């Protein structure tokens, strides 16, 4: 039997579902059981670089004198304009942040835009301008791109794909998280996910919540330059939120990650909205927040520096542990605000489809 047929039959379903694009367990299944199975491991990365072996925010490529980081992402969000931002700002911010989380200084980007026939030119100009301004304000050159139009009703509006290129300041790899590392969240979580749900009027509810979408350049560049060797991992909790990111870290490093929910910064309105609609706020996406694993002896200094840089709500929310019993490895456990404990599961199902 042909290799691609064998790979396709490893999936639990015969058809692609919306949940396969949600960034949770189903997305992970597509990558692991389909994509990686069709690519020979020797082609997962370049020599002395990283790639599909780590499945990190960006891949590293070794050149003669330095390393560069490369990332690519497609953005499809409904609605394309939402409180706090739009798909243009989202595409640029997401690409910049993915490079930063790998320890790189973003320097260049390319974009590919697909719109459906009949899309308003004025709206398109506004969205492109939003993307361009975000890149320029972060000193990122836009060096190329592509533009396509598809027939009406064959695409819901617009999709923007961006590729980012950065120069590594200090490589940050999420497979280097160690026992004792402290987990720092740089700001309130879940704002983007809640803002998108509210903007759609999901469950008939609309509340005053703005997305946190923003580049983290002014935060991450100083941290990488000053504390790069002491950062074990970094990520922006987009699709699947903090819950998915920490579960990926726990599995990738074969550790237990313990967090204290009372220490997690979250806006009252976001928590209330999540509780009202029955969604775990840890599974809601953030687009202007970083989660950082820092060596324990430097954690307080890093937190203090984050506060100095303007992220006053940043907090140490937990730590990395290596349990004596193997069955507890690869999981995330939270101490609840009520004083109990729960396992933080990988998000599953259509949490917030078409969010980024």
pLDDT at 34: 80
Rounded-to-integer distance, Cα 109 and Cα 88, Å: 13
**CATH assignment, 57-168:** 3.30.1330.10
pLDDT at 55: 79
Q: Model pTM greater than 0.75?
A: yes
- Report whether pLDDT(259) > 90: yes
Of all residues in the chain, the percent with pLDDT exceeding 70 is 96
The mean per-residue pLDDT over the stretch 229-245 comes to 96
- Report whether pLDDT(229) > 80: yes
pLDDT at 23: 66
Listed in sequence order, the residues at least 6 apart from 142 whose beta carbon sits closer than 8 Å to its beta carbon are 108, 109, 110, 111, 132, 135
**From 14-23, 51-60, 67-76, 241-250, the region with the lowest mean pLDDT:** 14-23
Phi, psi of 326 (to 5 degrees): -60, -25
- Report whether pLDDT(286) > 80: yes
Domain range summary for the chain, segments of one domain joined by + = 1-43, 57-168, 182-343
Q: E-assigned strands of the chain?
A: 59-62, 67-75, 81-82, 85-86, 104-116, 141-150, 158-168, 182-185, 231-235, 256-260, 291-294, 315-321, 331-335, 341-343
pLDDT at 20: 72
| Spatial CA neighbour of 167 closest among 148, 139, 207 | 139
Rounded-to-integer distance, Cα 48 and Cα 211, Å: 38
- Report whether pLDDT(121) > 70: yes
CA atoms within 13 A on the CB side of 27: 19
Listed in sequence order, the residues at least 6 apart from 75 whose beta carbon sits closer than 8 Å to its beta carbon are 87, 90, 91, 94, 159, 160, 161, 162, 356
CATH fold group of domain 182-343: Phosphoribosyl-aminoimidazole Synthetase; Chain A, domain 2 (3.90.650)
| CB crowding 61-92: b at 16 or more within 10 Å, else e | beeeeebbbbbebebbbeebbbbbbbbbbbbb
pLDDT at 352: 59
CA distances from 302 to 183, 248, 306 (A): 11, 23, 6
**From 55-59, 77-81, 274-278, 294-298, the region with the lowest mean pLDDT:** 55-59
The mean per-residue pLDDT over the stretch 38-49 comes to 85
Rounded-to-integer distance, Cα 301 and Cα 296, Å: 10
Mean pLDDT, all residues of the chain:
91
The order of strands in the sheet holding 341-343 is: 231-235, 291-294, 182-185, 315-321, 256-260, 331-335, 341-343
């Amino acid at each position: 039997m042909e290799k691609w047929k064998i790979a396709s039959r490893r999936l639990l379903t015969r058809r692609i579902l919306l949940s396969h694009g949600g960034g949770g367990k189903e997305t992970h299944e597509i990558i692991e059981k389909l994509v990686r199975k069709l690519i020979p491991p020797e082609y997962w990365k370049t020599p002395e670089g990283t790639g599909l072996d780590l499945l990190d925010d960006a891949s590293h490529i070794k050149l003669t004198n330095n390393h560069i980081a490369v990332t690519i992402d497609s953005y499809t969000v409904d609605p394309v304009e939402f409180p706090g931002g739009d798909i243009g700002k989202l595409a640029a911010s997401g690409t910049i942040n993915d490079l930063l989380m790998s320890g790189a200084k973003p320097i260049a980007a390319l974009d590919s835009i697909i719109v459906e026939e009949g899309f308003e030119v004025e709206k398109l100009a506004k969205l492109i301008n939003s993307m361009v301004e975000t890149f320029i304000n972060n000193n990122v050159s836009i060096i190329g791109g592509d533009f396509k139009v598809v027939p009406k009703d064959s695409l819901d509006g617009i999709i923007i794909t961006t590729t980012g290129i950065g120069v590594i300041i200090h490589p940050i790899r999420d497979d280097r998280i160690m026992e004792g590392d402290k987990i720092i969240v740089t700001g309130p979580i879940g704002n983007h996910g809640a803002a998108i749900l509210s903007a759609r009027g999901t469950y008939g509810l609309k509340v005053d919540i703005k997305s946190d979408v923003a580049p983290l350049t002014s935060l991450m560049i100083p941290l990488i330059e000053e504390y790069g060797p002491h950062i074990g991992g970094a990520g922006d909790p987009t699709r699947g939120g903090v819950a998915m990111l920490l579960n990926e870290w726990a599995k990738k490093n074969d550790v237990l990650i313990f967090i204290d929910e009372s220490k997690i910064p979250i806006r009252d309105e976001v928590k209330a909205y999540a509780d009202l609609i029955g969604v775990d706020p840890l599974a809601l996406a953030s687009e202007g927040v970083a989660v950082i694993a820092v060596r324990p002896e430097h954690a307080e200094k890093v937190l203090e520096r984050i506060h100095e840089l303007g992220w006053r709500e940043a907090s140490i929310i937990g730590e990395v542990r290596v349990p004596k019993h193997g069955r507890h490895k690869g999981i995330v456990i939270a101490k609840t605000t009520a004083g109990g404990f729960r396992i933080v599961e990988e998000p599953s199902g259509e949490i917030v489809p078409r969010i980024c």
